[in-house]
Structure 1
Amino acid sequence: MPLFEPSTTPAGQRPKRYGESIYAYYRDSERPGVVAIRDLLEVWFLEVPLDEQLDLQQRFRSPIERHYRSAMFELFLHHLLLRCGFQLEFHPDVPGVQRHPDFLVSREGQELFYLEAIAVSNSVREEVETNRMNQVYDVLNGLASPDFYLGMRLEGAPATQPAGARLRRELGVWLATLDRQAIQQSYLEERYEDVPVYEWEHDGWRIIFEPMPKGDAARTDPSVRPLAMAMAMPMQARQLRLDEALKDAVAKKDRYGRLPLPLVVAVQVIDEFRIDRIAVMDGLFGPEAIGVNAQGLERPGRVPDGAWVSPAGPRHRTISTVMAWSTLDPWTFTSIEPIVAHNPYASIPLPTDTLPVAQHVVDNQRDLLVLQAGVSMEQLLGLARDWLPGD
């Protein structure tokens, strides 16, 4: 059973369209890098037991990005753990519990821990809004604009589907009135206030379009897309709040009661920005703060509002360890390292020598987090950092 179905609509060498699903583009593209991605993922898929392949395949092929991302993450984790020398059982039975974790992880016949995987992304409403915007971007990329790229400053999101074709016509009329040489001179002399803009609004979504003169080669190349870049305006920038996302993910996976083994939760945070250590620790242990003792001396500490601690004390103690990843794509498999932290209040701690990756452990004597060195993704996956061929 293959992971990818045969393509009936080859995409040649073109880039991915905004509204195109990731799976559909990987299936149809003939670019060397994408062909290498397909080949690698098919090899990984063959490692999955036959009775688990259909479910994983269907979710991987979904046009809904969060379903695809979840399946990709599961496939990645399965291969990574196999490469680390573990054996995996899908959806194992847990004594006294009807639910089934994603994996039971063993080594040489010894059961070591359960693993739950979750991809945390924007809400369904935000995903619908993004799909509406992507449809407009794809229509605008069909605009005939030999002289200019279009930069975009964005505010808000559309509550209903905009008429992209009408906007494209309006922009075409506007662009035809512009003087390319004069605008180019304004950029060269850094007189940005002299660059004309086109403002457009639709049902809660506002875009300011800025013309950016093309170079001579791009002016004669019809394959060059006019949309150059999009930037959210600061007052309306929407970012996934990592601390809340991690707390929600941990709470969602704390559903097994007392377990006979440690429980590891692997979280992939789907966001355009990479997560960092500080944000992960704030989400797990509570935000950093400065406290004052009885003598009036300042002392660093944390607000007790994390996944593992509340004003009432420790919580979610069945979860032993969290492994947090930024958004994983094939070209970032070897460049993104997980941020791993052990729960100091865990009912059943995971031994710190179980996982080969770098991990954060609480030193109770010094009351601080200590980073324990580990092996890189590049080494664990057996892939070079630049493993994808160029186009």
Structure 2
Amino acid sequence: MLLGSGCTVEIEQALGSRGKNPDFLVTQGDEQFVIEAIWTTQRVGDITHSVLTPSLIDAIDSVPSPDFFLSVLINKSGSVAPPLKRLKAGLTRWLADLDPDRVLADQDQHNVALPTHTWQETGWSISFQAIPRSPDRRGIPSSKTAVMYPEMAWLSGRSDLVFNAVKKKGKKYGELSLPFIVAVGHATPFPEDEDIEASLYGSAVEYTRPGSASTFSRLPDGYWTTPHNDGHGRVSGVLIANNPGPWNWAKKTPVLWQSPDPNSIKAPVLPTWATVQVADEQIERQSPAAPAHTAVRLTEQWPTGDPFPRHANGG
């Protein structure tokens, strides 16, 4: 694809501050960029998101929270049970410092994102977002604290395959001083753009209050939006092809998901790539300038003929 787009490609050049060799150093005209490729695999029945256990839900619901509901998302599960007393103590301190009226005013007047807290201990990482209760619903003892949480990937629609693949490759080479693209062959039974969007930009949520317009926000759980991003701005973009295979090279359009991080070096876009970027937390898409088959030097209808031809002898 790179060669067919008029690029020069050098294989495994020593680049970056860690002295390792990424897959491709690409030259296009007077521009250079780096591509590192990775393949992901998901099988039907794989659970790809950590699950909130009943003990965790009970612990969160027991936290005094007269003014806020909590949206809960497990980023990473530890190998041992989380210390629930310390989790509850941390949540209690965080919530005690929040003013629900101030949060509502910031949202209405300045479109400020809802307060977020990420708790990390013993291998666990759990993100919480505080949603102000309406004034007439505050201080009700029987009201639950946790109101939004995913149960498993097939229900929540969230897939961590892309997140984990990019995280693995994005930190491997250190500083490159060039645009850096991670190319992902995304092998999954049910590929959904919404899953990729959540993995890279954060899960989308909409909040509604009686008598007010709904507000749109994103949870800080995407590759480029997590508060503990460990230099994720080094990755300029993530190039994704869903379930690529020899039978669909001529029809498969790669999509470049562009980094919103201001520290990222902007990557060039080849004519056969579609693009996605986020602006004001909304997704903007751009179609490719040329069809995929022009870059891989195949006809648009390749392969031709019957997929499983029968011979005259029945073999």
CA distance in 1, matches of 2:271, 2:220: 28
The alpha carbon displacement at 1:338 in A equals 1.9
Tell me the residue number matched to 1:282: 198
Asked if 2 retains the 8 angstrom alpha-carbon contact of 1:307 and 1:315, the reply is no
**Structure 1 segment 224-303 matched on structure 2, within 5 A:** 243-254=159-170, 255-273=172-190, 275-291=191-207, 296-303=212-219
Asked if 1 retains the 8 angstrom alpha-carbon contact of 2:33 and 2:267, the reply is no
**Structure 1 segment 1-391 matched on structure 2, within 5 A:** 80-108=1-29, 110-122=30-42, 243-254=159-170, 255-273=172-190, 275-291=191-207, 296-311=212-227, 316-345=232-261, 347-351=263-267, 353=269, 356-363=272-279, 366-374=280-288, 375-390=290-305, 391=309
The alpha carbon displacement at 1:121 in A equals 1.2
* 3-state SS of paired residue (2:278): strand
Paired positions, count: 196
The alpha carbon displacement at 1:100 in A equals 1.0
Bigger radius of gyration among the two: 1
Asked if 1 retains the 8 angstrom alpha-carbon contact of 2:204 and 2:216, the reply is yes
**CA deviation digits over 1:253-276, x for unaligned, max 9?**
122222210110110112233x23
CA distance in 2, matches of 1:280, 1:301: 17
The alpha carbon displacement at 1:352 in A equals 5.1
* 3-state SS of paired residue (1:250): helix
TM-score (norm 2): 0.55
CA distance in 1, matches of 2:254, 2:183: 9
CA distance in 2, matches of 1:242, 1:380: 32
Aligned residues: CA RMSD = 3.1
Structure with higher helix content: 1
Residues 353 and 335 from structure 1, CA distance in 2 versus in 1: closer, same or farther, beyond 3 angstroms?
closer
CA distance in 1, matches of 2:169, 2:38: 8
Any gaps of 5 or more consecutive residues in structure 2? 47-151, 310-315
**CA deviation digits over 1:177-229, x for unaligned, max 9?**
xxxxxxxxxxxxxxxxxxxxxxxxxxxxxxxxxxxxxxxxxxxxxxxxxxxxx
Bigger mean CA offset, 353-362 vs 80-89: 353-362
* 3-state SS of paired residue (1:332): coil
Q: Which is bigger in relative contact order (C-alpha 8 A, separation at least 6)?
A: 2
CA distance in 2, matches of 1:89, 1:350: 20
Asked if 2 retains the 8 angstrom alpha-carbon contact of 1:87 and 1:106, the reply is yes
- Identity over the aligned pairs, expressed in percent? 25
CA distance in 2, matches of 1:101, 1:111: 17
**CA deviation digits over 1:40-90, x for unaligned, max 9?**
xxxxxxxxxxxxxxxxxxxxxxxxxxxxxxxxxxxxxxxx00001111110
* 3-state SS of paired residue (2:3): helix
TM-score (norm 1): 0.45
Amino acid at match of 2:287: A
Tell me the residue number matched to 1:49: none
Residues 264 and 258 from structure 1, CA distance in 2 versus in 1: closer, same or farther, beyond 3 angstroms?
same
Structure with higher strand content: 2
